[in-house]
Amino acid sequence: MEKKPAIIIRDLCKKYGHFAVLKHLNLDVYEGETVVILGRSGVGKSVLLKQMIGIETPDQGYVEVNGVRITDIPHSIRHRSVKNMGMLFQGAALFDSMNVLENTAFYLRQHESNLSEKEIHERVTHALTIVGLEGTQRKMPSDLSGGMRKRAALARLIVYRPRIILYDEPTTGLDPITAMQINKLIQATQQELQATSIVVTHDIRSAMEVGDRLAFHHDGKIHQIAPKEEFLHIDDPLIKAFFENAAVSYEELSTIKKEYRKKDD
C-alpha cells in the first residue's frame, strides 16, 4: 500500500527577534503512523508543534494537513481548518473552575454544537472510560493527581475524535509507573481513533513504546528520521550523545540530585 502523507512540512522557519528557532525544517508524517520527535530541551520542539496546530504563524515555509495549507489561512479563521487536530499540552491545561465532565465536554461542545446533552454525556462517559477515569465526572482538577490530570486532558481530546493528535511531553514529570500508563493510553487512543500522531518527548522508553518512526530535532531542523529499530543504531555523534545523556535511570538521577544537594549544604 502506498504511504500517504497526512502532514507535510516544508522549509519552515520561525524566529523570535533575531533568534532563529526553526531553520528550513522539513518533515512528512504518514497517515496512521506515530512519529516521535526527540531533542534536547530548548531546541524548538514545542515551537514546531505550535506552528503545526496554528497557534503561531511561521516566518517562512508551510504546514499542509490533509492537503490544506493551514499556515496560509488567516489566523482568525484557522481554528475551523484545524478542527481535525488536537493537542495535548505539556501541563495538561485543564480548566480549574470546571469539573472533569465539563472539562471533557469542552471541545466537543465547541466542535460539534449539534449534539444533544444526552449524546455529549455518552461521548464523555466513553472517553473517560477509555482513560480509566470513569466515576470522576464531578471531581475538580485540584482533586486529581498529576497522572489523572493528564488522563483527563487526553479524554478531553479523544472525545471529539481528532484525526491528528500532537502530544507535547506527555510523560514529563510523571513517575515511571504513571508514565507507562500514559504510554499505553497513547497506544490505545491510536487504536481507537486510527489517528496520525506526533509525540514530543525526551523519554527514550516512551519513544520506543509509542513510536513507529523516531525523529531527532537539532539546530532548527529534523536532523535524522528513521523507523525506531533503525534509529537506535544510527551512527551519528549527536544522536549517540543524546542517548548517553538520556540513559540515566530515574534512580540514578535522584542519587545525583541528592549528592549535589549535600555539597550545597
Ligand X SMILES: Nc1ncnc2c1ncn2[C@@H]1O[C@H](COP(=O)(O)OP(=O)(O)O)[C@@H](O)[C@H]1O
The footprint of Mg ion (CB under 5 A) covers 46
Q: How far is the CB of 2 from ligand X (least distance, A)?
A: 32
Question: Which does residue 21 touch among Mg ion, ligand X, none (CB within 5 to 8 A, set by kind)?
Answer: ligand X
Q: Rule CB under 6 A: which residues touch ligand X?
A: 16, 21, 39, 41-47
Q: How many CA atoms lie within 13 A of 114 on its CB side?
A: 0
Chosen from ligand X, Mg ion, none, partner binding at 47 (C-beta under 5 to 8 Å by type): ligand X
Q: Rounded to the nearest whole angstrom, what is the least distance from the CB of residue 253 to Mg ion in the complex?
A: 19
- Cβ contacts of residue 194 below 8 Å, gap of 6+? 32
8 bridge partner residues: 28, 64
For the bound state, the minimum distance from the C-beta of residue 89 to Mg ion, rounded and expressed in Å, comes to 10
CB atoms within 10 A of CB 53: 21
Q: In this complex, which beta carbon is closest to ligand X, that of residue 39 or of residue 141?
A: 39
**Smallest separation (angstroms) from ligand X to the CB of 196:** 20
Look at residue 36 and give the partner it binds from ligand X, Mg ion, none, a contact being a CB closer than 5 to 8 Å depending on partner kind: none
Q: How far is the CB of 112 from ligand X (least distance, A)?
A: 31
Phi first, then psi: give them for residue 164, nearest 5 degrees.
-130, 130
Beta bridge partners of 225: 215
C-alpha cell at 233: 543504531
- For residue 41, the partner it binds in Mg ion, ligand X, none, with Cβ less than 5 to 8 A by kind, is ligand X
- Side-chain-facing half-sphere of 88: CA atoms under 13 Å: 32
Residue 43 interacts with which of Mg ion, ligand X, none, CB < 5 to 8 Å by class: ligand X
Distance between CA 11 and CA 59 in Å, rounded? 10
